[in-house]
Amino acid sequence: MFNGKSILVTGGTGSFGKQFIRSLLENYTPARVIVFSRDELKQYEMAQDFTHSAMRFFIGDVRDKDRLITALVDVDYVVHAAALKHVPAAEYNPMECIKTNILGGQNVIEAAIQQKIKQVVALSTDKAANPINLYGASKLASDKLFVAANNMSGKAGTKFSVVRYGNVAGSRGSVLQLFDKIRTAGNGTFPITDIRMTRFWLPLSQGVDFVIKAFQRMQGGEIFVPKIPSIFMTDLAKAMTKDAEINVIGIRPGEKLHELMVTEEDSRQTLEFHDHFVITPAIKFFESVNYKQNKLHETGQAVAEEFEYHSGNNPEFLTVEEIKKLNKQIL
């Protein structure tokens, strides 16, 4: 679907953006791939590695709607990955987080509708499910904006959907990078906030594949949630070195024991497919959509009431050996 098309990625110099663009260029023949971000040094460094003739680099900020409108001329698809996502930084700088994650998201929506973009997929986070910090709250608000945008764009207009996933192993700032530094330095003591803590464990490449699949599946208004395995954080430490020592440092403000992706309150609107869940819109659109069958003709069924999907109740947990094997592919 991306052959001969133009795709713009906001926040395209980040971990996800680079992997998404790499996968795009390896598997399709796009006309243009546009990186839209505000850091010229990161763009310069990325341009040294991404030399494909389809590559374009636009300096811009999602806070600047006029610049977005210019960048989106003749674009077909948009991946919205730009965000302020550092939890403590968001708490210290709340309005900056709101300007980027909420107002910036609305700018992407309005610019996409004006330029008649075919489809937009916005990236979200587990922290948007029952948020307990500002970053999560801002992404929940952003999710709501992108879902409701389908009512603004009209029947034949831009379609908007959201992809929500948890911890991405190996992404910038990932705990895996921290643990690898500790292991490399020969220090076998790993800081863990609580021995009960679990996390979803999603390699970046699989996250990218899921987003590409979302473009193929989407009808507009869905929040897509992948089914992915969980790990115990203590097992991650054991996978780094056989003599791992655990230093329990206590749970941090804004941190949860388990990553939550589908809340009990969302269960009434949630459908289960073979490899993912779909949270359908809580609002009615002017056009009726059968979300039980997606564009790939996959069918889903309603989950039970009071269903929750989090990393602690996940039926699939990786063993220490499986974590080791996966980490070798990532590091």
DSSP state of 38: S
Q: Is 127 a catalytic residue?
A: yes
Show the CA angle centred on residue 224, arms to residues 78 and 31, nearest 5°: 25
Instruction: Name beta bridge partners: 164.
Output: 124
d(CA 213, CA 296): 9
DSSP state of 238: H
d(CA 3, CA 70): 23
Neighbour-count burial for 102-123, b at 16+ CB within 10 Å, e otherwise: bbbbbbbbebbbebebebbbbb
Indicate the residue type of 252. Answer: R
What H or E segment, with its residue span, contains residue 144?
Answer: helix 134-153
Which one of the listed residues 5, 18, 85, 127 is annotated catalytic? 127
- Sign of the alpha-carbon dihedral angle for 47, 52, 56, 61: negative
| Region at 254 (left for phi over 0; alpha for psi -120 to 50; beta for the rest) | left
Structure tokens of 329? 């592919």
Strands 301-302 and 270-272, how do they pair?
antiparallel
Q: Active-site residue numbers?
A: 127
